[in-house]
């Protein structure tokens, strides 16, 4: 196990010396700064620490829309940056690590000093995970502090976005590692892993969509719809549950807005035309928030299936590596 | 050799075959026995299978068929890795680590505790003369320095068996001498050194025993003395032309020897294929009787280079193959 830690540490050192790592860190800081630069005053709200401001009758200090704004922005920052783009950037760095490790000159140095080849693979993967966790931790800590500073809401559950982000990352990282073993090419493994990830997201999204309901409230084309849906769900079942995990993460971080964020966006656009929205308009925009669709049980299943997929992919990679001549 | 128990053997290969996926047979029922505590040299032309053999023994390449052990473990068993050190021919050093960090990393892989690691790294940097460069990255090193770092890397875990693939490649004469001394020191510590080199003179100086590998098979194996035993001969240098003396020529030919004249025609040279001085006496007596002046009587044997070249000549047609050697 010491060898696994040593290789994970080495992988982390290697990855942290790359420019992409610093780009990832600075972009994470930039995301936090953008969120922190937003502020609601008594006459409206501003961005860029007051650089650009808009008058508003509802988006003002202490209003429910202030929380809606910050909760919505922080949730999206967590989802799109922490669990989306930042792991993707980390993946670009990680993709070349395994193919380089398998090159003759490096393989001879590394694999002759470990008890099993899977130790090397596991160490590389673990190092990659820690590497992806660094920008996520920085960004989430920044968002947590910003949210507390701006709204007075100190929500520690925001940190739940990190394990979710790492779970998303571990899936594509495991696939990249396996493809790296298979092809020994960083670009090929990266491209195929990204295609795989996109396909899984699209497939899970399609499988999670409710069947269309016709005007009379019944399922439209019941046989066709259920047949297609069943087949999709069967294919999607063993694959990473991206849809459920995304919803689960949203639920886990606990930033339930008092109003729908998209309504705030709509109001803001309207508000730009009619400066200072009327109370009627604001009330019109308030809607009942939809109930959570992902139950803890479903989320648990999604986490288990996704973790299992990741583990099986790594086992497949280790088996392939063990059969290979280096 | 047959009396040796396998416990006395660091490497005991009864039959090792490797056929690559493209059908190239790199090793063909190779058998080899390396005693513990000796320096064993491996010779062979390019494509003979030397690197493939070392890779099989270190578990990097899976043999197609194998009966044999390394330090008592079946060939390919990763458990043996803890007791092996390996300097690959074309080591590619990590770009993100300095020489000291590379050795520290190797120590971590071996599970050494920090204090032990620091001590071992300092010891090896001193041994290989790299203390002054411990904070430099290996990619800026000369070939010779990289080789020395490779030797240090191989020795981090204090291995029982060390594989050195072309250890003196790119190393200057002083460095080569140091490398030879290092190998001798390892032998004195009871370690087994398995060295693969093209520099026959180097191997001749340090190896206890060696093998010549050709087309995936060991064609000769033994100590230099054993290998060159058949080539033992006596060379007699005489003033004057012996080719004009049929009686003496006849005597030499009856003993299986040859007579030749130096290009300047002043001296003659007799070669007698024997290692027994008694068989040389009749020729010496005859030369004296005829009044020739004897310049020298020297026992001689083939050099390793001559032996190697002869093995190549007699080994049949040689077709270099792409096996990664």
Paired tokens of B199: 């520099």
Spatial neighbors of B284 by CB under 8 A, at least 6 apart, are: B236, B294, B297
Which of A99, A109, A123 is best to mutate for the B interface (most B CBs within 10 A)? A109
Q: List the one residue out of B47, B40, B73 whose CA is nearest residue B58.
A: B73
CA atoms within 13 A on the CB side of A235: 15
- For B268, the 3-state DSSP assignment is strand
Nearest CA distance, A230 vs chain B (angstrom): 43
Segment A206-228, tens digit of pLDDT: 877 655 554 444 444 444 444 45
User: Is the model's pLDDT at A186 over the cut of 70?
Assistant: yes
- CB contacts < 8 A, A to B, total 76
Residue of A nearest to B88 (CA): A108
Q: Is B92 in Cβ contact with A109 (below 8 Å)?
A: yes
Residue of A nearest to B325 (CA): A104
Q: Is B153 in Cβ contact with A109 (below 8 Å)?
A: yes
pTM of the predicted structure, to 2 decimals? 0.81
Nearest CA distance, A18 vs chain B (angstrom): 9
Which of B109, B117, B167 is best to mutate for the A interface (most A CBs within 10 A)? B109
What is the C-alpha to C-alpha distance for residues A20 and A53, in angstroms, rounded to an integer? Answer: 34
pLDDT at position A210 is 59
Q: Are strands B39-43 and B217-222 parallel, antiparallel or unpaired?
A: unpaired
pLDDT at position A220 is 47
Q: Is B55 in Cβ contact with A325 (below 8 Å)?
A: yes
Computed over every residue of chain B, the mean pLDDT equals 86
Q: Does B194 touch chain A (CB under 8 A)?
A: no
User: Is the model's pLDDT at A278 over the cut of 80?
Assistant: no
pLDDT at position B315 is 65
Q: Does B84 touch chain A (CB under 8 A)?
A: yes
- For B55, the 3-state DSSP assignment is helix
Strand partners, B192: B161
Q: Is A17 in Cβ contact with B79 (below 8 Å)?
A: no
ipTM topping 0.90: no
Choose between B307 and B247: higher pLDDT.
B247
Which of A165-174, B215-224, B298-307 has the least mean pLDDT?
B298-307
Going from the C-alpha of A203 to that of each of A84, A200, A209, A243, B2, the distances in angstroms are: 17, 5, 10, 9, 67
User: Is the model's pLDDT at A256 over the cut of 80?
Assistant: no
Query: Strands, E, within A74-210: which ranges?
Result: none
What is the C-alpha to C-alpha distance for residues A291 and A196, in angstroms, rounded to an integer? Answer: 31
Q: Is A3 in Cβ contact with B109 (below 8 Å)?
A: yes
- For B170, the 3-state DSSP assignment is coil
CA atoms within 13 A on the CB side of B145: 17
User: Is the model's pLDDT at A195 over the cut of 90?
Assistant: yes
Cβ-contact A247, A294 below 8 angstroms: yes
What is the C-alpha to C-alpha distance for residues A187 and A106, in angstroms, rounded to an integer? Answer: 19
Spatial neighbors of B247 by CB under 8 A, at least 6 apart, are: B286
Q: Which residues on A lie below 8 Å from B84 (Cβ)?
A: 112
What is the C-alpha to C-alpha distance for residues B217 and B18, in angstroms, rounded to an integer? Answer: 11
Residue B73, burial from CB neighbour count under 10 angstroms (0-12, 13-18, 19+): middle
pLDDT at position A44 is 82
Choose between B320 and A166: higher pLDDT.
A166
Nearest CA distance, B273 vs chain A (angstrom): 46
Cβ-contact A123, A10 below 8 angstroms: yes
Q: Does B81 touch chain A (CB under 8 A)?
A: yes
């Amino acid at each position: 196990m010491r060898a696994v830690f040593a290789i994970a540490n080495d992988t982390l050192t290697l990855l942290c010396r790359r420019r992409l790592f610093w780009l990832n860190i600075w972009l994470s800081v930039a995301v936090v700064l953008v969120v922190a630069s937003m502020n609601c005053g008594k006459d409206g709200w501003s961005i860029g620490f007051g650089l650009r401001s808009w008058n508003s009758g509802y988006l003002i200090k202490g209003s429910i829309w202030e929380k809606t704004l910050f909760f919505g922005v922080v949730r999206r920052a967590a989802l799109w940056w922490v669990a989306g783009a930042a792991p993707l950037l980390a993946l670009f760095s990680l993709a070349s690590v395994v193919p380089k490790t398998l090159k003759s000159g490096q393989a001879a140095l590394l694999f002759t000093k470990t008890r099993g080849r899977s130790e090397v693979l596991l160490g590389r993967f673990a190092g990659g995970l820690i590497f992806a966790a660094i920008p996520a931790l920085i960004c989430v800590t920044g968002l947590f502090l910003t949210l507390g500073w701006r709204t007075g809401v100190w929500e520690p559950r925001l940190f739940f976005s990190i394990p979710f982000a790492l779970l998303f990352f571990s899936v594509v990282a495991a696939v990249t590692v396996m493809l790296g073993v298979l092809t020994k090419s960083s670009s090929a493994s990266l491209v195929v892993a990204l295609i795989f990830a996109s396909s899984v997201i699209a497939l899970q999204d399609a499988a999670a969509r409710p069947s269309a309901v016709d005007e009379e409230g019944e399922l439209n084309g019941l046989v066709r719809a259920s047949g297609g849906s069943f087949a999709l769900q069967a294919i999607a079942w063993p694959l990473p549950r991206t849809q459920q995990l995304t919803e689960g993460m949203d639920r886990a971080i606990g930033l339930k807005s008092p109003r729908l964020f998209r309504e705030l966006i709509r109001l803001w656009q309207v508000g730009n035309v009619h400066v200072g929205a009327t109370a009627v308009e604001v009330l019109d925009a308030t809607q009942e928030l939809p109930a959570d669709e992902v139950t803890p049980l479903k989320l648990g299943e999604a986490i288990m299936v996704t973790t299992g997929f990741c583990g099986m992919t790594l086992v497949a990679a280790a088996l392939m590596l063990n059969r290979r001549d280096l | 050799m047959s009396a040796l128990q396998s416990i006395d053997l660091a490497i005991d290969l009864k039959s090792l075959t490797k056929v690559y996926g493209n059908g190239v047979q790199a090793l063909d029922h190779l058998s080899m026995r390396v005693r513990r505590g000796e320096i064993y040299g491996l010779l062979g032309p390019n494509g003979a299978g030397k690197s493939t053999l070392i890779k099989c023994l270190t578990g990097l390449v899976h043999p197609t068929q194998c009966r044999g052990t390394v330090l008592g473990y079946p060939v390919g068993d990763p458990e043996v890795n803890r007791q092996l050190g390996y300097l690959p021919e074309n080591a590619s050093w990590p770009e993100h680590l300095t020489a000291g960090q590379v050795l520290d990393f190797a120590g971590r892989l071996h599970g050494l505790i920090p204090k032990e690691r620091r001590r071992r790294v300092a010891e090896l940097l001193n041994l290989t003369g790299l203390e002054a460069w411990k904070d430099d990255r290996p990619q800026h090193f000369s070939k010779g320095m990289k080789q020395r770092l490779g030797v240090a890397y191989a020795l981090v875990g204090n291995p029982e068996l060390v594989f050195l693939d072309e250890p003196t490649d790119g190393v200057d004469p002083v460095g080569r001498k140091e490398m030879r001394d290092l190998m001798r020191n390892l032998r004195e510590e009871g370690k087994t050194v398995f060295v693969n080199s093209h520099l026959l003179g180097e191997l001749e100086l340090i190896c206890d025993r060696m093998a010549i590998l050709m087309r995936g098979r060991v064609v000769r194996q033994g100590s230099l003395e054993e290998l060159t035993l058949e080539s033992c001969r006596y060379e007699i240098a005489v003033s004057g032309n012996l080719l004009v003396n049929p009686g003496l020529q006849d005597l030499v030919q009856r003993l299986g020897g040859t007579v030749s004249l130096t290009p300047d025609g002043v001296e003659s040279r007799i070669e007698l294929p024997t290692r027994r001085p008694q068989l040389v006496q009749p020729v010496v007596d005859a030369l004296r009787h005829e009044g020739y002046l004897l310049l020298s009587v020297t026992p001689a044997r083939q050099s390793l280079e001559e032996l190697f070249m002869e093995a190549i000549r007699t080994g049949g047609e040689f077709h270099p193959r792409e096996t990664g050697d």
